[in-house]
Amino acid sequence: MSLEEIKAKIRTVPDFPIKGILFRDFTTVFQDANCLSELEKILVNRYQNLGITKVVGIESRGFIMAPAIATEIGAGFVPIRKKGKLPAETIELAYGKEYGQDIIQIHKDALSKDDVVLLHDDLLATGGTMKAAQDLVKKFGVKKIYINFLVELDDLKGRALFDPDIDVEALMHY
């Protein structure tokens, strides 16, 4: 199965969550076992030999692929969640996104200076959420950060927010 075939299964929902937004809905991709398996293979092949010790998934759709990648490459999984969802002591960051403001958190003991981190989410739009996640992870002084998305909305130029020394990759583009 090709990435073009997978991309063709992404449903576009107009005016969600607010008027004027074209929401790229991955549930149609994740429901298809072949798509899910192919995405996992592609991501594992891309990241398996980079010394990654932790895969950080961004709430909530980043939680779908991140644990599978982590398991296959022999890394741990760490969630970054919206405020109030993690049970232990956290650090947090407030940020703006394309249709509002939010706060994300990570456990204070989730990462160390010895970690090589892959940050994963499903979609890069304006980049606010992943930029906040990058900045949270950087507070731990990790060795290296990689960033991955399944899809990037190129015309929104979210990629420009990330530090130039970070490898940012998207599998599909709109």
Give me the residue label for tokens 């290296």: 144
Distance from C-alpha of 86 to C-alpha of 104, rounded to nearest angstrom: 10
Q: Tens digit of pLDDT for each residue in 43-73?
A: 999 999 999 999 999 999 999 999 999 999 9
Q: Which CATH architecture has domain 50-173?
A: 3-Layer(aba) Sandwich (3.40)
Q: Rounded CA gap, 56 and 58, in Å?
A: 7
Per-domain residue ranges of the chain: 50-173
Residue 9 has pLDDT above 90, yes or no: yes
Pairing of strands 11-14, 116-124: unpaired
pTM: 0.94
* 95-103 long-range Cβ contacts below 8 angstroms, 24+ apart: 95/128, 95/129, 95/131, 95/132, 96/128, 97/126, 97/128, 97/129, 98/21, 98/125, 98/126, 98/128, 98/156, 99/17, 99/18, 99/21, 102/129
**pLDDT level of residue 135 (50, 70, 90 thresholds):** very high
Q: Fill in the DSSP letter of residue 58.
A: E
Dump pLDDT digits (tens) for 24-40. Answer: 999 999 999 999 999 99
Contact at 8 Å (CB) between 150 and 125? no
- Catalytic center residues: 61, 98
State the pLDDT at residue 96: 78
3-state secondary structure of 119: strand
Quote the CA–CA distance of 96 and 83 in Å, as a whole number.
Answer: 14
How does pLDDT run across 82-124, given as a tens digit for each residue? 999 999 999 999 997 766 789 999 999 999 999 999 999 999 9
Token reading at 1: 């199965």
